[in-house]
Amino acid sequence: MNADFWTDRPVFVTGATGLLGSHMVQELLARGAAPICLVRDEVGQSLFSRLGLGEHVVVVHGRVEDYGLLERALNEYGIETVIHLAAQAIVGTANRNPLSTWETNVRGTYNLLEACRRNDKTIGRVIVASSDKAYGDQPDLPYLEDASLIGRFPYDCSKSCTDLISRSYFETFGVPVCVTRCGNLFGAGDLNFNRIIPGTIRWALRDEAPIIRSNGKFIRDYVYVGDAVSAYLDLAEQMDRDEVRGEAFNFSDERPQSVVEIVDCVLQAMGRGDLEPKILGQGSHEIVAQYLSSKKARKRLSWRPRFGLEEGLGRTVAWYREFFSHWSAR
């Protein structure tokens, strides 16, 4: 980490109130950066709000679908670094309403990149959040960055498009873009309890059996949000290098887990191994197994997870215990 790299640097963060966005903004402030945060909805219980981050940053209210707003914000605040995290990230939501997902994930991405292209006098680096879902269903595991992007289902397709559009802006216009592909993120502040880790924690704290909507055999990467934040910022600091700029990077703990296994890990971290999950077997439009190799990030960026699964789960469980204790007291 370059101690002075982020000092007073104007950083435009989209999706700032989400799970990764909240942790990202918190860390940017800790490193002395000057975040400018795009916020669509005010979420009272979000980590962004609970930490009072809005009091220490510039908040731009709006949506990534609004091109004019993006161009104005990048220009007026003299943005040097862009971290694009805004997305509709829930698979079930995408299946129910693919149009809204494509509007946010696809149109939002090309809007932002076009605004960056038109502000090329100040923009020095752009990091776009893709996903392991961008690879679609691949015959070879773990996924490597040179695999084709063949998402078929709505969310997967939106991330394949995000990836390809980002590459196009680099290759055609020289916009300084890198793409990140992470597995399933978890950590303090995730209020989407449809996700397996926060959902399992809430059920266990209520002394209820966790519910697994699929057959429990789907295999995924689970990446602690603190490791993802360090990955993004490590990448940003190295984007002046030719072997980094314009590239995509996988970030993974490289310890894939089935749904049943990750639920068991959560329950063990909570001391609730006595709870037996209910398996509904209702999952559909999902890939059976997908997980990533981080060999490229390890080699080119010297990146390693700082926390890992066990420490990450310990920190996450502790946060939710406090969160629900405080909520009950109210």
- Which tokens hold the place of 172? 């055609």
Give CA separation, 30 vs 24, 225, 267, in Å. 10, 16, 32
Burial call 198-225: b when 16+ CB within 10 Å, e when fewer: bbbbebbbeeeebebbbebebbbbbbbb
- Backbone φ and ψ of 138, nearest 5°: -105, 145
Looking at 155, 169, 232, 320, which residue is catalytic? 155
* DSSP structure class, residue 158: H
- Backbone φ and ψ of 50, nearest 5°: -65, -35
Is 135 a residue of the active site? no
The residues, ordered by sequence, that sit 6+ positions from 42 with a Cβ below 8 Å of its Cβ are: 17, 49
The residues, ordered by sequence, that sit 6+ positions from 44 with a Cβ below 8 Å of its Cβ are: none
Show the CA angle centred on residue 124, arms to residues 119 and 128, nearest 5°: 90
* DSSP structure class, residue 106: I
* DSSP structure class, residue 53: G
Beta bridge partners of 243: none
The letter for the amino acid at 196 is I
- Which tokens hold the place of 125? 């680096």
Give CA separation, 108 vs 25, 151, 211, 327, in Å. 20, 18, 34, 35
- Residues with a known catalytic role: 155
